[in-house]
Copies of this chain bind each other. A is one copy, B any other.
Amino acid sequence: MLKRVFGLPLQLTSKRTLSTVFYQRMSEQTATTPATPVADVPPQQKQKSGKGKKSKLQVSLKTPKGTKDWSDIDMVIREAIFTTLSNLFKKHGGQTIDTPVFELREILAGKYGEDSKLIYNLEDQGGELTSLRYDLTVPFARFVAMNNIQNIKRYHIAKVYRRDQPAMTKGRMREFYQCDFDVAGAYESMVPDAEILDIIVEGLTSLGINDFKIKLNHRKILDGIFQVSGVSDEDVRKISSAVDKLDKSPWEAVKKEMVVDKGQTEETADKIGEYVKLNGSLREVYDALSQDPIICANEKASEGLNEMENLMKYTEAFGIDKFISFDLSLARGLDYYTGLIYEAVTAASAAPENAAELKKKSKSSEDASEYVGVGSIAAGGRYDNLVNMFAQASGKKSGSQIPCVGISFGVERIFSLIKQRMTAADIKPIYTQVYVMAFGGGKDWTGYLPERMKVAKQLWDAGIETEYVYKSKANPRKQFEAAEKSGAPLAVILGKEEYAEGKLRIKRLGPEFADDDGELVDASEFVAVVQDKLSQVHEDGVNEVSRLIRGL
C-alpha cells in the first residue's frame, strides 16, 4: 500500500520538479522564493498520542474504548460502501427511515438474550431511562408497531452500540454501522425471505466479495430437533444459545455446557450432536431431513421443512443456491428470530486456528484483534412476533401480526476486507477540479487575491469544485504544490498582464502536462471552457473508488 500523508500519495512530491518547468517558463514575473519541502503536514500526523504517556496527562486525547475517528480515504471507501448498499436497497423497493440513537430502555429490554449486558445506558434524564440502540431491528419493530404500519420495505444505515470486547483491526467495534434492509408485512411463505438472500448475494458481490457463503438454518427445524432429542420447551432457547457457540467452540465444550450447565441428559446432547453436524447444499440437507421419519413426525420441524421446499424453488429462480450452505449448527444468539436465520461468512470470518494460544500471548487486554476473526459480514433472519410484542405490550388493539424478515450488513467488517485487498488505488479525500492561481511580480503586484476570489466564485456558481491559496501574494511554486496536493486536473491562472487585459489561462495539471502552457481565453467565456475541459478529463478518467470497491 502506498504511504500517504493527508490522503496524498507521497510520490506526488516527485512530480513537483515537473511543474516547475511550466511555471518558470510561463511568466517573466515569477517570484524568487526558493523551493521548500511540501510537508507542512508533519509525518507523524496519523499517529495517535503514545499510550505510555497517558498517566501524566490532564486530558486524554483519544476516543472512548472501542470507537475511532474515520477520515481521509477510509471515509471515502466507507461512504462508497454506503452508497453501494443504499442503491441496492432502493433497487429492491426500499425506503429509508431514521430513528433516534437512543431508545427508552424498556423498548430494548428482553430482546437480546445473553447479550443484553452489552447495552450502553444513559444517565437518568429526569425520569426517562434511555439506552443507546443495540441494533436497528428492535427500533424498526417499535417504529412499525407505533405507526400501525401494515407493510413496508425499509432500509436504515446507522450506528449501533455494543459494550463488547473490541477487535479494531478486524472491524469489531463498540460503535459501528449497520446497513439493514427489512421487509415487514404478511406475505406468502419464503417469498420475501428469498429476496433477502438475493440481496445478500447482490450486496456482497457488488462490494467485490465473492468467496463468501451464506450459512442458513430454520428456527422451526432447530426447535424440532431439540424437541425430538428430548429438550423441554422452556429449555429450547438456552440450548439454542449453546449450539450458537459451535462456530467458536468444539462440540465437546458445547456438549459439556448442555449437560453440566444446562441440565440435559447425555443422550439428549448426543442426539442434538448428530443433527447439528449436518450441513451441505440446501437440497442435500433437505433430502436428508425429509427422509428422517422422526423429524418428519415432528410438527415444528416438518413445518420448517415445507418452508425450505418453497425456498429452494425461489433461490433456484434467483440462481443463488451455490452461495448457500444449509447448516444445522447455525442458531444465532438473538431471542426474536422465529423462522429462517442466516449469516454470510468468508475465510476471514473464522478465528485463527490457534486462537486460544494467541489469546494467551496477546499483549493487549484492550483489543482482541490478534486472536479473533472478522466474524459474519452480514446476518439476519425472520422475526414474526417482535412487532406484535410491542403492539400488545403497549396495549394497542392490533388486529394482525406483522411478520418481518431482514438482513444487516456489517460495514466495518466489510471495510476491513476491502482494505486488505487495497493496492495503490489513486483515491483522494477531496474532489477539487480547478485550482485558481495568480502569477505576477514587481513593485505594484498585489497578488490578485480578491480577483482570484471572484474567479473562484464564478466557478462555484457553476457547481465546480474550486480552491485557491489563502494568501494575498502566493509564490507560483507554493500555488502549484497546493494544486497538485488537491489533485485538481485543471488550473485557472490569472497572469498579471493577461488578467488586466481580460484574459484567463486554463491549463491541465499533472506531470504529463508540465510542458503545456494551456490556453488563453476571454474572461467572459472561461467557465464554459473549464466545463468543456473537465468533461474531457472525466470522459477517459476511471473512478478509482468504484474500481476499488468492486475489487477490480
- Residues of A bordering B, CB below 8 Å: 6-7, 40-42, 44-49, 53, 56-65, 67-72, 75, 78-79, 87, 90-104, 106-107, 120-123, 125, 128, 130, 132, 142-143, 145-154, 159, 161, 163, 175, 185, 187-188, 191-192, 194-195, 198, 202, 313-314, 316-319, 390-391, 393-396, 429-432, 449-451, 453-454, 457, 460-461, 463-467, 470-472, 486
Contact = CB atoms under 8 A, between A and B. Distances in A.
A75 B49 contact: no
A194 B453 contact: yes
A395 B464 contact: no
B318 A45 contact: no
A457 B95 CA distance: 19
A67 B393 contact: no
A48 B123 contact: no
A143 B69 contact: yes
A72 B145 CA distance: 16
Contact of A187 (B120, B463, B471): B471
A220 B348 CA distance: 57
Given A100-B175, A102-B175, 7 more contacts: A41-B149, A44-B148, A60-B104, A69-B99, A69-B147, A101-B159, A122-B132
A109 to B, nearest CB: 8
B96 A79 contact: yes
B396 A61 contact: yes
A75 B98 contact: yes
A250 to B, nearest CB: 31
B395 A91 contact: no
A128 B163 CA distance: 12
A317 B454 contact: yes
A216 B486 CA distance: 31
Contacts of A195: 453
Given A61-B142, A394-B58, A465-B93, A148 B453 contact: no
Given A101-B175, A317-B454, A93 B467 contact: yes
Contact of A457 (B57, B198, B454): B198
Contact of A64 (B7, B128, B432, B463): B128
Contacts of A100: 63-64, 67-69, 175
A316 B450 CA distance: 8
A10 to B, nearest CB: 16
Contacts of A121: 122-123
A432 B122 CA distance: 40
A316 B148 CA distance: 55
A390 B59 contact: yes
A471 B316 contact: no
Contacts of A143: 69, 71
A120 B124 CA distance: 9
A453 B393 CA distance: 38
Contacts of A464: 91
Residue of A152, A153, A202 with most partner-chain B CB within 10 A = A152
B453 A59 contact: no
